[in-house]
Amino acid sequence: MAKFFDVTAYGAVANGKDDNSKQFLRAWGDACQWNGNSVMIIPKGIYQLILFKHVDWLLVEGSGTVDGQGAAVWSRDDCKHNGRVCNPLPISMGFNFVKNSKIANLNMINSKSVHLKLYRSQQVMISGVKITAPENSPNTDGINIAESQDIKVQDCNIACGDDCVSMLNGNQNVEVFNVACGPGHGISVGSLGQSVGDGKSVGVTGLHVKNCTLRDIHMENADNPIIIDQHYCPSHSCNNQAQSSIQIKNVTFVNIWGQSSTPVAVNIQCSSKVPCSEFKLQNINLAYNGREGVAKSECLNVHGQSFGQEHPSGCF
């Protein structure tokens, strides 16, 4: 039978103002040292939290809400575009070096930046998580995964205004099932080619996405319905001479139709250092009805073929 460790018994105060980190850590320490099953209890209230590091066999679940209170600081996001130096905004909930664990049935809203991030973690399941932030909130990714392996994200509802689920450098065997996204930027693989701790650049392997719904970007007046951009620069401080060392290959876009809100409906910009290869566009029908002409496609450093319907015309 599990022993319960209630943070309020350690002096934690649920007023949303007091720093409860010491009380949480004492409860956590006692729970971890208990010789048997233990449960750390956080009663209903408003507390300040949360980063888990170097933990094995962790279960985090509950019916409460993790509120990042991001609206107070989102305007600071503009500083990266106007030359000012900014401190990174905090992540609502982080899991670093976590193994054999599960994150389930959480409700997260309005993070200052990323809502939930995994870093160098293994064998983690994220299930039944609901994430909500305004459509125009900046860089409020739902779930961000970096340098991790054997991760499952399933049965989640993410409407965060930015990337629903984003995969960064060094991920292996990530499965995304039954996830509803939007409004936001969908499911993304990006920021590859950046060096990890050993100085090497690594990509993403073994990514599987299925039975997912991309709401509000389901090619209904979507910006850039089909896009791969290895020249992406989120600020004005990028080195334009730097080229990605990650090659993208064996990619197929099939049976995609609807309306683009921008004239470039198909935009595939690859690295000149390692051009994209083995690309296929099959049965693409994307219209643009704006003032800038008709829908078009733009490609750079990509080799591939087009089949079936081609609207706009393929650029391989």
Output phi, psi for 121, to 5 deg: -115, 160
Sequence letter at residue 20: N
Pick the CATH number of 50-218 from 1.20.210.10, 1.10.1370.30, 3.40.630.30, 2.160.20.10: 2.160.20.10
Q: Is 79 helix (H, G, I), strand (E, B) or coil?
A: helix
Going by DSSP bridges, is the β-strand pair 3-6/264-269 parallel, antiparallel, or unpaired? unpaired
So where are the chain's domains? 1-49, 50-218, 222-316
Of 164, 159, 189, 184, residue with least CA distance to 174: 189
For the segment 147-191, what is each residue's pLDDT rounded down to a tens digit? 999 999 999 999 998 899 999 888 999 999 989 887 888 888 876
Q: Which of 115, 141, 163, 185 is catalytic?
A: 185
Tokens of 134: 């305004």
For the segment 102-154, what is each residue's pLDDT rounded down to a tens digit? 999 999 999 999 999 999 999 999 999 999 999 889 889 999 999 999 999 99
Q: Which of 115, 162, 198, 208 is catalytic?
A: 162
Residue 185 annotated among the catalytic residues of the structure: yes
Output phi, psi for 141, to 5 deg: -50, 145
Taking the C-alpha atoms of residue 105 and residue 126, their distance in angstroms, rounded to an integer, is 9
Tell me if 86 sits within 8 A of 80, measured CB to CB: yes
Is the pLDDT confidence value at 216 over 50?
no
Answer with the residue of higher pLDDT: 76 or 262. Answer: 262
Residue 162 annotated among the catalytic residues of the structure: yes
Going by DSSP bridges, is the β-strand pair 187-189/107-109 parallel, antiparallel, or unpaired? unpaired
Question: What average pLDDT does the structure give for the chain?
Answer: 85
Of 294, 284, 291, residue with least CA distance to 264: 294
pTM score of the predicted model: 0.72
Answer with the residue of higher pLDDT: 194 or 90. Answer: 90
